[in-house]
Structure 1
Amino acid sequence: MAKPFTISALSRESGVNLETIRFYERSGLLPEPQRSASGYRHYAEADVRRLRFIRRGRELGFSLEEIKALLALADQPQSPCDQADRLAQQHLSSIEARIRDLQAMQAELRKIAGCHSAHAEHCRLLEALDSRSCCAHAEG
């Protein structure tokens, strides 16, 4: 067996900070580690790979519950991929909807940004937030 990793070494190798590692242990995403006689956590290379998997899943925006499901599938490599693909398709649809929402927000902000009013009472953004329209197109 290779020399076990301490939690600090695991953090360095996986790119996941210490508190997040402890959180993933409490959440069941990462199994409870072996302990040394003095109580130090000891991790294996498999834990590094698992944390990298989780980190990459989070970077792609998957929820912790989705990652749990993906980990369960990864732990059964002979199982069909259709469940993972369904999760990917659902996640993609969600991201596409968020992109549409962000584009709509961008369009609205473009309409009201660049106000050069000397007074806040005529500020386009404040008017839009307050649903006022007294000076919506006034420059000045």
Structure 2
Amino acid sequence: MIESKSNQSKLTIGRLAKLVGVNVETIRYYQRIGLIDEPATPLNGFRQYPVKAAENITFIKRAQRLGFSLKEISELLKIGDGHCDDVRTRAEIKRNKIDEQIRDLRSLRDTLDLLIYECKSGKDGAHCPIVETLLSKEQ
């Protein structure tokens, strides 16, 4: 939760960006795609963001670090706090996708390890198993 002083209940875009550690353009982008609300433009021309915007941006950044896409984060924000089962289900789906990516990456690493081994053990400098595999029409 972002702490706020009572006299700082509203923030300019620059102060908001600094508070949450993002670029001003990031905030504008989040507004364009509907992740955070764009405040009305007052007569002085300086939009004032509520502290809630800082909390939402912090939520967005933390969710991104957990691997959620902005689209998925938008869905999480729409679900809200009162629907833990729905949020848990989406988190489980994300975890399963991450597990699948880990399996795929391990398989890629194993393939590369084999190619590196074949390359090291090959005595013929004219034929590189790695290059031959990359040039091969087989997949």
Shorter-chain TM band: 0.7 to 0.9
- Are 1:90 and 2:97 counterparts? no
Q: Could you tell me how far apart the structure 1 residues matched to 2:33 and 2:56 are?
A: 14
Q: Please tell me whether the aligned partners of residues 120 and 126 of structure 1 are also in contact (alpha carbons under 8 angstroms).
A: no
What TM-score results when the alignment is normalised by the length of structure 2?
Answer: 0.81
Letter aligned with residue 36 of structure 2: L
**Residues 74-94 of structure 1, C-alpha deviation per residue, up to 9 Å, x if partnerless?**
3xx3x3311001100100110
What is the identity percentage for the equivalent residue pairs of Structure 1 and Structure 2?
36
Deviation at 1:35, TM superposition (A): 2.7
- State which of 30, 33, 37 in structure 1 corresponds to 2:36: 30
Q: Which residue of 1 aligns with 2:84?
A: 81
Q: Which residue of 2 aligns with 1:136?
A: none
Structure 1 residues not aligned, in runs of 5+: 133-140
Structure 2 residues not aligned, in runs of 5+: 1-5
Deviation at 1:47, TM superposition (A): 0.7
Q: Could you tell me how far apart the structure 2 residues matched to 1:84 and 1:54 are?
A: 14
Number of residues paired by the alignment?
129
Change (3 A) 1:73 1:2: farther
- State which of 12, 16, 20 in structure 2 corresponds to 1:6: 12
Q: Could you tell me how far apart the structure 2 residues matched to 1:121 and 1:47 are?
A: 61
